[in-house]
Structures are given as structure tokens and as C-alpha cells.
Structure 1
Amino acid sequence: MDQQMFCFQCEQTAGCAGCTGKKGVCGKSEKTARLQDELTGALIGLARATNGGTLYTDDTWKIFIEGLFTTVTNVNFHDDTIRELMGRVHEDKEKLAPMCSGCGAPCGKTGDYDLSRLWHADEDIRSLKSLILFGIRGMAAYAYHAMVLGYTDEELNRFFCKALFAVGEDWSMEELLPIVMEVGKYNLACMELLDQANTETFGAPVPTEVPLTVEKGPFIVISGHDLLDLKLLLEQTEGKGINVYTHGEMLPAHGYPELKKYPHLKGNFGTAWQNQKKEFAGIPAPVLFTTNCLMPPAGSYADRVFTTEVVSYPEIVHIGSDKDFTPVIEKALALGGYTEDQPFAGINGGRTVTTGFGHDAVLGLADRIVEAVKAGDIRHFFLVGGCDGARPGRNYYTEFVKQTPEDAVVLTLACGKYRFNDLDLGTIGGLPRLMDIGQCNDAFSAIKIATALADAFGCGVNELPLSMVLSWYEQKAVCILLTLLYLGITDIRLGPTLPAFISPNVLSYLVEHYHIAPVSTPEEDLKALLHEGE
């Protein structure tokens, strides 16, 4: 860890240990990684200056949330914007504690935290602090999306401050472990806030079949999670002869009534985020990134990529807070799109995918689901979802879903579903066997569905015929996992590899108390989860 760069926050970190060279596997440079560490250290310094959140300006909470979101994997590769954000952090700290700048007293408020202290700490302390830090980075993404829709919660905001403060302190494992569990608690509240923001703004999602064909004529591809950006783009392209297609994390937008009403929101283009370099290389259309996951654009299409919100990349046109998408629209019209309809397909050859099985939609079927379970038509539920990535071994999830028995229902969410969401698994008693709940932003729906079914059967979630088989890539998966642990959910299968930042002792604790296990083979895991052969 003596190199200037050290990063092990994502699943694809080099050698499953940490990126330490000139460039990370995500494409982040050593310089950018160092700046992101400095930004995090500045945020910890700001947390100290707030005295646990008792001091703040009107902009303090936004700075915490935006700063943490900026450091999530595949969000921001632009050094200048990171420096600018650091400047805002320092300005806010000067307003909160103006006497600190010239003070040499060791009160903990006088300087930014040096994150190398964390990377060089005892491995168990480093493990717990990493769970806290990476967890609140993921949680900040959800808080950000709720915030842009006008939904905030001061208790959540104060917890960001508390958690950052804890990362900077020389606390023991016994002091840090409760903070780790609190990340799960507050992330549950944060996901619920985002669910409220999305459904009250855009309506409750409804099951919707989404074509994968791109029609002839000018079009724009929009990626990421920000539904407000999509709505603004749809408004600005209305009547201009430009069609709009979602990509990757934006697929669930098709289920929201207030977005479905735009006839030029046509379908979905491409698959998961890690395939973007191949899929974007030849399309005659611009691509707008509203959030992660942005990969460093290849030269063959870099002039057609646009960013907005916290996403940024050097020499890529950035749409500012005025949300004037004119450059994107002009590029779409200039490129002209395809001259004929282009029938694309999913990874498994399917021509359509279905999304929109949010908690309202699924719980509207609760009576039928309960009846099917009691009649023996549905034997088991599998929640197979999470982040996708390029590391070998992720075909496990495709094979797992293919091998689930015909009397099992598969619930899925996040971009891991692109491995199998175009499969036709058929139905059980008129109910689809494959139900796409949405993205990681919609994880609250999965929790609400599970708890509602447990209530219907008069049991706990762990007593349901439900198994969770999850993949992870970046920090939003970390905070979701901590939420599941906070809720006491056990026997989770996690893969394709376990986090490099989990020390053997912390892993032993998770195995002992929550029975977390790494995925093995689809055949072995299905046999174990279905209790076959017992």
C-alpha cells in the first residue's frame, strides 16, 4: 500500500486485493484516485467541524451527499470538478468554524483527514471503517436522487456526518461495529425516502413490456438512474422527431406512468453498463449519462457522449444545472439515427424485456401469490439480483436462473438482471415466473415485498420460502447488504467474489451471525437453498 493509489472499493479491484498502479480497473487514474481520497478526507474534516451535525449552513448537507456520491465507482473521472467540490467543502468548513484555519490545537477540526491512515490501519479496523465509508457512499447516491426531487430528511443528513466522523476517529472494533449496523438502518430509511420521491413524482410503476428494437430516425440513449433528467429530456425533445431509449440502469423508467405517457420514450438499447464500449461504438446517436456507471469513453464515440449531475469526464460536454439539453438534441439531429429499424436482442436472444414489478404491482397480486404457495404451485422464491460486472464467473447468475425449478418465482433487480432478463421463464397460474423489480434504487420494493409476504404467512422473512442470491460491484451494493443484515436476514449467497476489504475476522463474524456464504455452483447452491437431499 505504499503507492500513491490504493483503491479496493469495487468487486473488480485488481487481483481481488486492491488497485495500486497508475490506473484502476475502472479506468480511474492514480491522480484522480488520490484526489477522491483528498475529497473524502475533506468531508471527514467538515464532519468534525459540524460538531456531529449541530453546526451547518444551508449547503452543508448537499455538500456531504454530493461529495460522497462523486467518489462512487464509475461516476467522476474529472480532476477539475473534484477540486472544485473540495473547494466548496473547505468554504463551508470556514463558515462553520472560522477560527480553525489558523489554529494549531489538536482538536480534530484543524485539517483534512489523511485517508492513507485508513488504508494502513489494522486490517479489522480498516475492514469496519471501509464498510462504513463505502456504505454511506452508496447511501449518498440514493439520498442525492431523492434530493433532486425535493425530498430530504435531516436525521439522515446528520447520520452522514456521524458516520464520516467515526471513520476519522481512532475507535475500537466494539465502537465501530454499531456504526456499521447503523449504516444499514439509515440506508433503509434512505431507500424508503427515494421510493416515496419516485412514486409521488412519477407514479407507482406498473408491469411494462419494453421493446429492444431501435426505430429509424434520430434518437438519444440515456443511461444512469436519474428519472428527473429523463423527464426533462423527454420534455425538451417532445415534437422534435427524436426518440429516446433507456440504457442500463435507466430501464425501470418504462414502468412509471408519468414517464410512460411520452410516446417518444420508445424502448431500451443495449444491456449492462460494462458492455457500453462495445455497444456504443457504432450507434448514430448521442448518449447522455445521468449517473454511474460511466466507463472512460473510447475515441470512436467520445464525441457523442454527454454527462450531467455529478458525472464528469475530461473533454466530454457536461450539461450544467440549467439542464439545457440542446447540445444533445443537436447531436441527435445531426447524426440522424438509423435509416431502417434495427432489431436488437438481449444477451440470451430475447427481443423484449419486462420491468415495472414494484411493490405496489407485486403486492397487488399478493392474494394470488399466497394462494399459489398454499396450493403448492409456487414452491420457492429466489431474489437474484445486484450489480453486474465484467469479471469472469458472472455467468453463474444466468445458469442459476435457467436451472431454477418450474415451480419457483425469480424476483430480480439492479443491472445484474441483464444476464437473464430476456429469458422466457413462463408463468405459474398466470403469474410471471420472472419479475423485474427495478434497479438498485428500487431495492426498497424488494424488502417491502418480502416483509409483506412474511406478514401474510404469519412468519419472519427468514422463514419464508425465499432465498437471496446477490452479485455486487460497487458501493450501493454494500449499503443494501448492510440493510439486509440490519433487518436480520440470513443465509444470503454473495458473489462472484467476496469484498477485498472484508478481513478474515469480520468475515467470520458475518458468517457466524448471518450465515453469509459465497456462491459456489448453480447446482450446489440450488440444492442447498431448496433443502434437497436433507
Structure 2
Amino acid sequence: MGEMFCFQCQQTAHNTGCEGKAGVCGKKSDTANFQDELTGALIGLARAVKSAKPTKAADELVLKGLFTTITNVNFNNETINTLLAQVNAEKEKIAADAENYDVQQIWDADEDIRSLKSLILFGMRGMAAYAYHAFALGFTSQKVTTFFYDGLYAVGEDYGMDELLPLVLKTGEANYKCMELLDKANTESYGTPVPTEVPLTIEKGPFIVVSGHDLHDLKLLLEQTKDKGINIYTHSEMLPAHGYPELKKYPHLKGNFGTAWQSQQSEFHNIPAPILFTTNCLMPVRQSYADRVFTTSVVSYPELVHIGEDKDFTPVIEKALECGGYEEDHPMTGINGGTTVTTGFAHGTVLSVAGKVIDLVKQGKIKHFFLIGGCDGAAPGRSYYTEFAKKTPIDTVILTLACGKYRLNDLKLGEIEGIPRIMDMGQCNDAYSAIKVALALADAFGCGVNELPLSLILSWYEQKAVAILLSLLYLGIKNIYLGPTLPAFISPNVLQVLVEKYNITPISTPEEDLKKILG
């Protein structure tokens, strides 16, 4: 199959692209090439839909197919090829003459075309994850679904910059609608999140660690482990689950295990419990815990037990009882040594105290808001986000979300008249919450979002962060600080457009950036 090419994540080799036998994420070249083939088949499916009507099966396959190609989701050739066969079969049913696309054409294209098509494709991959979580809860949007077909079709066409540039913003618009849909799905299913302090100590006895983003899978596991003497702990992006009333009511949802996804290989080493992955970020699994990792949904890894669509978690439950957990309570800490973290500050909560926040701004007691968050990764430069948070003045408030929050969410930075200085708004898709709060503040002060005393300091790692960035640009939000490096797939010309139009700025040092922002 030849060597791979992949540059969709922040940690891509030399910040230019992973080539050769394997990617930095651990994905092998044949797997990367099968994922490209799957993408080409999805473009073929979009071409089929252009000439006929989409089916419900096609709608679901587009979500699954795009989601499967996100970084750290699927390392398993077998499941990728099964999905590829399903996509091809559905395409034949809809319009047999629709041809699949060779994705290599994107990687070989003129750098500006490659850059714009990558922004659209990677943005859609991120959006597909959000759409899939909403779909799991029975929520869909015709506008979002239609955009997947339109976007995929466009990526396979011989379009120039004039046609592709507006599509980049349309991807952001579609993702904004998709995050709104998922917010509705989550709150209607589980209630409006409330601020909740979450312990980082693992109590003695059998337990299961649940990683990823899918609240539906967590709910099903909580139901199936009721009264079985097994405690459930969230990991990484599952932490915000503790804020939802309908999930909080399970007494065996106890706390959070460990820190962000990139520490899993050391934190899961010899853990006396099983780990269930519901979405990314799964890293290559080490021998010391490989017999205890389970996958479900589109997550897949060779030789691991996969929980199918029946969602019968019996093998995970049996493994938890067999492992037995820790013999004594096992204290863990955040990366700054904290023993608890707080979550649940979604837009419902923050806007319920908006009046007080606005008064504190008017009185000069809150001078500035920072949104510090995004996807985390293992690169050393990411300590920037911890340092930045520590250096923010005491009359400023930090909103945080996504796994980037693990850089700072155990810091104790105090309060401003009862308003916490750090507010965890949730998962990466809860960027929707942050946007809602920003729009409400702008409305209250009778100004545009860009005139607010609000700065966005974002970290990115994978394609969901790309989708969110595109949503922010669609909303016209400017002056975003982005790091730890700029995307390898953004060409100098495309970057120039983004800098001129939106003043996107690469991060420098916390001191320099704070000085620039606060003057």
C-alpha cells in the first residue's frame, strides 16, 4: 500500500506531516492509507447522493466514517475495512455509477487548495463526532446532515480558492449548528449542568474508568453497574459528566481518574481495573494494561475486546470484579498537585449569574475574561497554558473547556465575590456554552463580541479543535491566540488571509501575550 501521509493533528512529525511507516500518534501506514480510502469512499457516497436521495443508512455511515478517521480513534484495519465495505455497498444502492475519490489528489494539490480542502475535511471530521453523540441520543439536524454531503462533494471537486474559501466558513457555521444540537441533546437528556466538585481520589474496591466524550455510553454503563459494588470514574473529556443532574444521581459515579489523555500510558500502567474508551483519545495500548482496555462505538484497536451496538457491558463489569480495584483508597492529583477539580459551569449556570457578573465588570472588580482551553497534547510547549493561567491577574476570570483544562483545572485561584476565577464549561463541544456566554455579555454591554474584555487563548491537537476554530471564525471572532504551533496544513497564503481578516496570532510567552492583551 506504500507509505502514509498525514498532517491532520498538531503533533505531526516536524510540524510538516507524518510520512513513512507510522504516525506520531502510533497509527501505522497501512491504517492511515485505509482511512484515506474510506474518506475517498465517503466522497463517492456524497457524489451518489448528489444525483439521488440519501438514505438513513447513508446518513449514519457518513457520521461513522468521518468520526473513524479522527486522530486516536481507530487503529484497526479490520473495522476500517468493514466500514469501507458498508459505505461502498450503500453507494452502489443509491447510485452505482458514482466514483470514489483518490484522497492522494488532495495531498498532491497546490498548497493553497490542499490547505483549504484540509480545513473543510478536518473540520467535518471533528463535526462528525459531535453529530454522532447527538445521534446516539436521538437528535439529528437536516442542515448538518446536508452539509456533510455538500462538504464531502466539494472536497472531491476541482474547485479553486474562490469556491473553497466560503466553504471553510460554511463548515464553521454547520459545526456551530451541530454543537447547538448536541447541547440540546445533552441538556434535554441529562438536565442543565450544575457546578460540581469532583474528587481525584479512587476509593478502594472494584471500579471502571470511562474515557472519551459519549455521555450516552456512560449512562448505559451506570445503569448496568447499579448495585453491583462497582464504582465508576471518569477520565479526561468525560469529566464534565459529573455536572449533569441525571448522571449525578447515580451514587456510584464517584470521581475522576488521572489527568488528560496524553498521560494515559503512565496513569493506566498496572491499574487494577478496566478502562472503557467511548471515543478518542486512545493511545497505542501498553502490555501492562492491554488485557483491561475495552472499546465501544467507532473506537477500535487490534485484539482488544469491543462492545458492540447492543451495548452489553458485561465483559467490562466482569473484568472490574475480577481485578478488584485498590485495597485502600488511592489518592491521585491534578498536574498542579490539586486533589479535586470543579466542573459544570455550562452556559445555563453562568448566565444564571450574568447579572452579578455584569455588575462586577461595571464596578471594575472583573477586568478581563480569558477562555483558556482546547485540545491537549504531550508537547513540552503546552506548559504555556498552565503558566498563563497562573499569571493572570486576580481581577480576571478564566473560562476553560476541553481536555486543555487539565493544564490548569486543579489550580486554586480563588473567587471574585463568589464568582470562581476558574470555570470549567465542559467538553470541547461546550465551546458552544462559551460562545453563548460571550454573545450574552456583548448584548448586555451593547457592543460586539470583539469589543468585550475577552481573550481566547486556544490550544489545538485534533480535528474537533479545527471545527471549533472554524465556528469562531464564522461568528467573526477575532484576536484568537493559537498554539502550541500553527496547523501544518495551513499554507502561508491561507494563514495570511486568516491573520488579515481575523488577526489570528501564534502564542509567544505567557508574559508577552498577557502584556499585549492587558496593556
Maintained 8 Å contact 2:42/2:152: yes
Paired position in structure 1 for 2:39: 40
Paired position in structure 2 for 1:131: 119
- C-alpha distance in 2 between matches for 1:254 and 1:503: 41
Matched, 1:10 2:9: yes
1:113-137 Cα deviation digits (max 9, x unpaired): 0011110000000000000000000
Structure 1 residues 305-316: aligned runs within 5 Å: 305-316=293-304
Maintained 8 Å contact 2:2/2:29: no
Maintained 8 Å contact 1:206/1:255: yes
Paired position in structure 2 for 1:89: 87
Paired position in structure 2 for 1:245: 233
1:289-321 Cα deviation digits (max 9, x unpaired): 000000011011000000000000000000001
Matched, 1:175 2:163: yes
Matched, 1:523 2:511: yes
Paired position in structure 2 for 1:30: 29
How many pairs were matched up?
Answer: 519
Superposition deviation, residue 282 in structure 1? 2.3
Maintained 8 Å contact 1:129/1:176: yes
Paired position in structure 1 for 2:361: 373
Q: Given residue 114 of structure 1, which amino acid in structure 2 is its aligned partner?
A: D
Structure 1 residues 436-447: aligned runs within 5 Å: 436-447=424-435
Structure 1 residues 321-400: aligned runs within 5 Å: 321-400=309-388
2:20 alignment partner, SS class: coil
**RMSD of the TM alignment (CA)?**
0.9
Paired position in structure 2 for 1:106: none
Matched, 1:449 2:437: yes
1:427-451 Cα deviation digits (max 9, x unpaired): 0011100000011021110110110
Paired position in structure 2 for 1:290: 278
- C-alpha distance in 1 between matches for 2:48 and 2:309: 28
- C-alpha distance in 2 between matches for 1:454 and 1:321: 44
Maintained 8 Å contact 1:383/1:467: yes
TM-score (norm 1): 0.96
1:178-237 Cα deviation digits (max 9, x unpaired): 111100111000000000000000000000000000000000000000001001100110
Paired position in structure 2 for 1:197: 185
- C-alpha distance in 2 between matches for 1:252 and 1:198: 11
Matched, 1:227 2:227: no
Superposition deviation, residue 3 in structure 1? 5.8
- C-alpha distance in 2 between matches for 1:263 and 1:97: 51
Match of 1:482 among 449, 466, 470: 470
Paired position in structure 1 for 2:400: 412
- C-alpha distance in 2 between matches for 1:361 and 1:170: 47
Matched, 1:51 2:50: yes
- C-alpha distance in 1 between matches for 2:53 and 2:38: 20
- C-alpha distance in 2 between matches for 1:38 and 1:4: 14
1:380-411 Cα deviation digits (max 9, x unpaired): 00000000000120000000000000000000
- C-alpha distance in 1 between matches for 2:128 and 2:385: 28
Superposition deviation, residue 58 in structure 1? 2.2
- C-alpha distance in 2 between matches for 1:244 and 1:406: 36
Q: Between the two proteins, what is the percent identity of the paired residues?
A: 70
Paired position in structure 1 for 2:480: 492
Maintained 8 Å contact 1:44/1:164: yes
- C-alpha distance in 1 between matches for 2:56 and 2:22: 37
- C-alpha distance in 2 between matches for 1:218 and 1:259: 20
Matched, 1:80 2:78: yes
- C-alpha distance in 2 between matches for 1:66 and 1:401: 36
- C-alpha distance in 2 between matches for 1:526 and 1:43: 44
- C-alpha distance in 2 between matches for 1:391 and 1:32: 24
- C-alpha distance in 2 between matches for 1:165 and 1:501: 20
> Where in structure 1 do 4 or more consecutive aligned residues deviate above 3 Å?
none
- C-alpha distance in 2 between matches for 1:282 and 1:418: 22
1:59 alignment partner, SS class: helix
- C-alpha distance in 2 between matches for 1:58 and 1:384: 38
Point out where structure 2 has 5 or more consecutive residues left out of the alignment.
none
Point out where structure 1 has 5 or more consecutive residues left out of the alignment.
101-108
Superposition deviation, residue 64 in structure 1? 0.6
